Amino acid sequence: MTEFIGFVKLKGGSGATTHVINFAKYQQKQGKNTLIIDTDYSTISATRRFFTNKELSDKIKPENEATSLFENNSNPTPLQVDERIWLIAGNMNLSNEEDRVKQGMGRRYLFFWAMKHMAEIQEKYDYVVFDPHNDNSMITQNVLLVADKLVIVADVDNDAMDLIPEVMKNINVIEKIEINPMTMESLVNAKIFVLGNKVKHVGRSHVQFKKDFEDLMKQHPDLFIGFVPDREMIHLTKIDNLSIFDLENQAKYQDASHRKFIKQVETIYQKICEA
């Protein structure tokens, strides 16, 4: 059964896109197929991890883009960007479609696309992973509606922690609005997780965040699934367009500290899969 997972940003720069890419590469390592859907129209960061600026116009056609998901009876053609990884590319013009989407099927475009093409999706992919914008637009609400699991990525920032209840409130609102008229049950059934990100071992704010997050994990173990330390390997995934799993066999990352870090990330991803 294909799982639909959204990595939700609380703000720009939270590192959610990095986890989208690393999660797909982790699944590649497990022999699983992943489709990434980039609906972050402000940066199309996931798309830029696989294509240079020139390639964006040369290799990506309208039928390969997420905008096609918000057209009636359209079915985008994903691009294979790596072994076992496919991409429906982002488009920075997607935000211009907000009013049209509202006047059409609203937050149900992705839901109907998934239902209509579920047999094909299940045949091809083990996971469909969304990289949405950090807002509550109708485009992002489409992701919240269709997802089986939502991973809220919170970096070291008090504002980020304060935004978590807001995201959960937005999800709860959609849950009450989107009802199956046949069963009167909500169409929203996503499991929600919170992932702490880019946590340093020094600095008062980082130490306090780590302590607060560990306390929350003890209080709500089903919600707060762990945190990822701020390591050079994570930064290189963005700078060099590599995942930590591309780097793990390099000689400089064979020490116990790096192996522990990779294992920590793998454990979090596995928790997401098994929940």
Domains of the chain: 3-230 (3.40.50.300)
Q: What pLDDT does residue 166 have?
A: 79
Give the DSSP H/E element, type plus range, for residue 270: helix 256-274
Q: Is the pLDDT of residue 273 over 60?
A: yes
| Residue 164 or 104, more confident | 104
Spatial CA neighbour of 187 closest among 268, 83, 71, 108: 108
Residue 100 burial by CB count (10 A; 0-12/13-18/19+): exposed, middle or buried?
exposed
Half-sphere CA count of 253, side-chain side, radius 13 A? 19
Q: What is the pLDDT of residues 244-271, one digit of tens each?
A: 999 988 898 899 989 999 999 999 999 9
Percentage of the chain lying above the pLDDT 70 cut: 92
What is the rounded average pLDDT of the residues 207-212?
Answer: 72
Distances (CA, A) of 76 to 34, 86, 106, 245, 253: 15, 12, 18, 29, 38
Section 19-43 average pLDDT? 96
Dist CA 157 CA 15 (whole Å): 13
pLDDT of 154-166, one tens digit each? 876 656 667 777 7
Looking at residue 46, its pLDDT comes to 95
What is the spatial order of strands in the sheet that 34-39 belongs to? 79-82, 85-88, 34-39, 127-132, 3-9, 149-155, 191-199, 224-229
Residue 65 scores a pLDDT above 80: yes
Among residues 127, 114, 131, the alpha carbon closest in space to that of 7 is found at: 131
Confidence of residue 118 (pLDDT cuts 50, 70, 90): very high
Query: What pLDDT, on a 0 to 100 scale, did the predictor assign at position 86?
Result: 98
Return the bridge partners of 186, or none: 179
For residue 172, the Cα-to-chain-centroid distance in whole angstroms is 19
Residue 1 pLDDT > 70, yes or no?
yes
pLDDT of residue 50: 95
Q: What is the pTM of this model?
A: 0.92
Neighbours of 248 (CB within 10 A): 18
Give the CA dihedral 190, 194, 195, 201, nearest 10 degrees.
Answer: 180
Summarize pLDDT for 128-148 with one digit per residue, the tens: 999 999 899 999 999 999 999
How far apart are the C-alpha atoms of 193 and 39, rounded to whole Å? 20
CA 91 – CA 8 distance, rounded (Å): 18
**CA dist., res. 229 & res. 269, Å (int):** 14
Find the mean pLDDT for residues 51-74. Answer: 93
Beta-bridge partner residues of 3: 127
